Each structure stands twice: as C-alpha cells, then as structure tokens.
Amino acid sequence: MAIAAPSISSAGASTQPGGGAALAAEQLSIFYSDKEAVKKVDLSFAPSSVTALIGPSGCGKSTFLRSLNRMNDTIASASMKGSIWLDGEDINAPGTDVVTLRQRIGMVWQKPNPFYKSIYENIAFGPRYHGIKNKKELNEIVESCLRRTALWEETKDRLHQSALALSGGQQQRLCIARALSVQPEILLMDEPASALDPVSTAKIEELISELKQEFCIVIVTHNMHQAARVSDKTAFFYMGNLIEHNDTNIIFTNPENKQTDDYISGRFG
Amino acid sequence: MRLSNKQVDRIATGVFYFFAFLIIVILGGLIGYILYRGIGHISFDFLTSPPQTFKVGGGIGPQLFNSLFLLVLTMLITVPIGIGAGIYMAEYSRPGKFTDFIRLVVEVLSSFPSIVVGLFGLLVFVNYFDLKFSLLAGALALTVFNLPLMVRITEQGIRGVPREQKEAGLALGLTRWKTITKVMLPVALPTILTGTILAAGRVFGEAAALLFTAGMSSPRLDFTDWNPFSPVSPLNPLRPAETLAVHIWKINSEGIAPDAAQIAAGASTVLIITVLLFNLGSRWLGRYMYRKLTASK
C-alpha cells in the first residue's frame, strides 16, 4: 500500500513526513461571476489537527472549502484571487498538476455519494487507477480502509454487492474509506454528518477524532455541538468574511468578536 | 348557476380521463387492426422466402434481413458519433454562442422531414459520392436523421448523473476523461441504452429517407455467401437493399402479385411487432440495468 506523495509542481518540493501537510489560504477571494462569495481570507491549517468552519448558510464556508482542492474549477462562473499554499507551493500556479493535488487532498460530501459500483470497487477504484494492479495489494487496501472506518465487520461478507444497498451512515463511512484509499494528507469534509441519524453521526465524529492522528482535517458543519466536540480550531465565517479564528474552546467559551458570540449562542443565523 | 370548485375539479378530472382513454383507444385500435389483418399471413415461410413479382406466395425474407442489417450499419455509425458529441455537449462545451449554435443545428436537424433527408442522401451520398443505391448510402441518410436524437439522448443521460458522482471521481485524483468514462458513463448507461433502442425502433420503421438512398430493389441474394465483397452476398454494404418499410410502401402502391394486399398486411404486422419489441425491450433493459447498478429490488 504505497502511493508516493509526489510534489504537485514539476520543480519538486519536499513533503513533511507524517501528520499530513500544512495548508494555508492567503488573501483568498472567490467570486461567482461578479459576486464575491469569499473575501480576502487568511487561514492556515496545521498537520494533525481538525479545523471546523462554521457560519450561517451562504457565508462562503463551503465555497472556501471547495477551493482547497480546486473543486470550484468545475463551476464555470467561479474565479479567485489570492493564494492557497500546500507545503510552500501555490496550488493555483499554472504548472500545478491538479490530478496529483486532488489525490493529496481527499474530500467527503454532505450527501453520501458512493460510486454505482460494488463496495470493493468503491475502495479499489482509486488505487488501481493510480497504478496498483496487484490483486493482493488491492485486497489489503480495501480491508485496511474498511477497518479504519469501522465498516469491515459489517461488509466483509458482501464486498461485491452494490454500495448503494448500504444504509446512509454506512455509505458515508464508505465514502470516507474511499477518500483514504489513495492516501491523502488532508481531508476536506463538507457537512459530512448532516444527512445522517444521531447514531451514524456519532460514528462519523468518532472516526474524525481517530483520523486526526494522521491527517489535517477541515470540516464544514452547521452543528455547533459537533464543531465543539471534534475540532481543535474553529473558524467563523459571516457574509464571506472570516470573522474569527481561534482554538475551539476559546471560540465557544470566550469569543473575541460579538458576531461570533451571537452566532454560537444562537441569537442569529 | 356557478359551479363549485369541487364540481370544476370533478369535471376536469373526467375530461383528462377521457383524453387519456381516447389515446389508448386510438393506439389499441390501430395495433389491433393491423394485427387482425396481418397475423394470419405470417408463417416461417413468409418470413424467410424471397418476394414474388407475379405469383402468389411471396415472402419478405430479404427485406427483413435488409432492415436488420441496415439498422446495425446505421447504429455502428451513429452510436460512436452521437455519444461523442453528447459527451461534448454535456461536459466540455462552455455556455455561449457557439454551444447555442450547435444546439440549434441539432434541433433543426432532428425536425427535418425524412423525405428531405432522403433527397439530400440522393444528391450527396448516392450521386456526389457515387455510392449508388446502396445500404451504405441508406445508413448514412439514416445517420443524418438519427444523429440528433443520439446526441440528445447522451447529453441528457450524462447531465442526469448526480454532480457529486463527478466530483467524487475528480477528488480521487482522476482525470476528467477517466471520470467521464469510468464514473459517469456507467451511471448514464441505462438512460443512453434505453434511448438508443428507442431510436433504433424509429430507424427500423423509416421508409421515406430510404426510397432514394438504399433503393427499392434487392439483388438476388445468396444467403450462403458471407463474403462482404461479393455482389450477391447479403453482407455487401454497397448493394441496393429494399427494407421492410419500403417494401410495404412499394407493394401497396405498385404491387401486382395477386396476394399483394395480404403481403402488405403481413409485412406491416411484422414491422409493428418488431418496433413494439424494441420499445418493450428498451424498457425492460433499462429497468434491469438500473436494478443491477443500484442493487435495489
């Protein structure tokens, strides 16, 4: 199970060993046509940490998240200014290999979106595409990814059945397992538990706490309790601006900004 | 007297039921009548023997074969081009004047009267490219007629794939091409396949576009000669070929065999049953594939 983490630029810069990479946005603005959805945001993410992005709907947090693995490229009207640094390289630089970039930065969506394939294929698909053809090696990747997401016991007897037959919570864990299969360094999660029941949500949160050891995780959430439970740092967005960014316990107990205080205590948003 | 909302609602419901019923009656009557007139004439012999010009007892064997072979030829040309163009329209084209123009062209092309497509085929394929009356000229004319449909079917199929599927592929570090072929196309396949079979049914029943392209005659065919370059081989794409639909038109208008009317009725029945099979088959296949892909019962 060895997919090298190559540099995203042809120049080649060293990646930090273990704990995921460091990611930082600098003066980042994102536009949909003329509308500025994210306004000059400076925000950095440390390896082996969970950062929660919170804020009311339409505040730009999801747009910001999707810019980190250039998923906004697929939206024709989206454009951006500023920089996003991954281990000292600008991911939007002209020579950037966006395919390698996305392999290094995994993503999980709000709605579970397993491929219309078997459980096994959902995991094996990415590694196989990236050059692992050996059947035994693929089997090992599938098993280890499913074990890490606590799905192995539930699915080991039906690996070759369609992933769409799983429950919503299982599908979401499968999607996380799929993201892990190509050995990313950073995981982006866009409200990963908002479509799930409380039991499944608890399992996802537990998983995030475990994965934190190895990855830099950025999670968008509408659930204040979830942000408080799983994250080390919290960033509060409002109307495209980053209002406050600090340790989660400070944000939730003693925020500097009044808007942050109002939001987390439920007085607006 | 004013009607209450409830009464208006009841009347409207009745009217809609009436129209729905009317359509079913028209369709049922049409199919029933054709089956009633023709079904008695269908036999193994009728389906396999060649037609007779003056005598009783002619069959539709070569015509049936021609229709199927022409269908295969047309699909071989249409499906790759149609799917390619459909993928372009759904995934690569950027909104703008050029894309709007392509869409307009596709729509105009699909609303062309088939007789005009036939005349175009006569001028361009038969005369200008000197293909003569041939299966190939017929297949190309049918391509003009069928391509817009295939493009639209593919485009709709691809656009129907949930956005998150595409993003999931890209986020794993797949290229756009691999995301389309390995993630999106399999999801869109049931839609594309169903649409293709429906389009095939339309091609199978087409007559007007073929009158001046595939021709109204069949050479003497030797069904034991499968060399596609031999002039008497059924597989030779450069031979003229009268299809079933064209045959029906011909014997109805100028047939002089004593049993011409029965043959026309029998051939119509075969044609309509085949097209019905295409329709039912596409529904069945679409449902089967959807179930297989989503593992729902």
pLDDT along chain A (269 residues), means of 10: 47 41 86 89 90 90 91 86 88 87 92 91 91 90 90 90 89 92 91 87 89 90 89 91 90 88 79
What's the rounded Cα separation, in Å, for the pair B146 and B199? 7
Q: Do A116 and B175 touch (CB under 8 A)?
A: no
In whole angstroms, what separates CA B124 from the centre of its chain? Answer: 22
Helix runs in A117-257, H state only: 119-129, 135-148, 152-155, 168-180, 198-211, 224-230, 248-253
Picking from B255, B232, B216, the residue whose alpha carbon sits closest to that of residue B122 is: B216
What's the rounded Cα separation, in Å, for the pair A214 and A19? 5
- Residue B167 in contact with residue B175, Cβ under 8 Å? no
What's the rounded Cα separation, in Å, for the pair B286 and B195? 9
Q: B175 to chain A: which residues are within 8 Å by CB?
A: 99
pLDDT of residue B297: 40
Low-confidence ranges of chain B (pLDDT < 50): 297
**Side chain identity at residue A143, one-letter code:** E
Q: B172 to chain A: which residues are within 8 Å by CB?
A: 102-103, 106, 125-126, 129, 178-179, 181-182
pLDDT tens-digit series, residues B174-225: 999 999 988 998 889 888 988 888 888 888 888 888 888 887 777 777 777 7
B296 touching A, CB under 8 A? Answer: yes
In whole angstroms, what separates CA B109 from the centre of its chain? Answer: 15
For tokens 């037609």, the residue is: B51
- CA distances to A117, A261, B84, B160, B287 from B91, rounded to whole Å, are 22, 44, 11, 12, 25
Q: A129 to chain B: which residues are within 8 Å by CB?
A: 172-174, 178, 182
pLDDT of residue B252: 85
Q: How many CB atoms lie within 10 A of CB B228?
A: 12
Query: What domains sit in chain B, N to C, each tagged with a CATH number?
Result: 42-294 (1.10.3720.10)
For tokens 């089956």, the residue is: B35
Report the complex ipTM. 0.84
pLDDT of residue A235: 92
Bridge partners (DSSP) listed for residue A30:
A38, A80
pLDDT tens-digit series, residues A2-25: 444 455 544 333 333 344 567 889
pLDDT of residue B294: 66
**Side chain identity at residue A70, one-letter code:** R
- Residue B204 in contact with residue B146, Cβ under 8 Å? no
Distance from CA of B108 to the nearest CA of A (A): 27
Residue A228, C-beta contacts closer than 8 angstroms, at least 6 positions apart: A248, A252
- CA distances to A62, B112, B181 from B169, rounded to whole Å, are 19, 39, 10
Which among A67, A73, A113 is the top mutation candidate for probing chain B, defined by the most B β-carbons within 10 Å of its own β-carbon? A113
What's the rounded Cα separation, in Å, for the pair A164 and B156? 22
- Residue B233 in contact with residue B135, Cβ under 8 Å? no
pLDDT of residue B27: 93
Q: Do A125 and B182 touch (CB under 8 A)?
A: yes
B187 touching A, CB under 8 A? Answer: yes
Query: What domains sit in chain A, N to C, each tagged with a CATH number?
Result: 23-113+186-264 (3.40.50.300)
Greatest extent of chain A over all pairs of C-alpha atoms, in Å: 57
Which among A63, A109, A116 is the top mutation candidate for probing chain B, defined by the most B β-carbons within 10 Å of its own β-carbon? A116
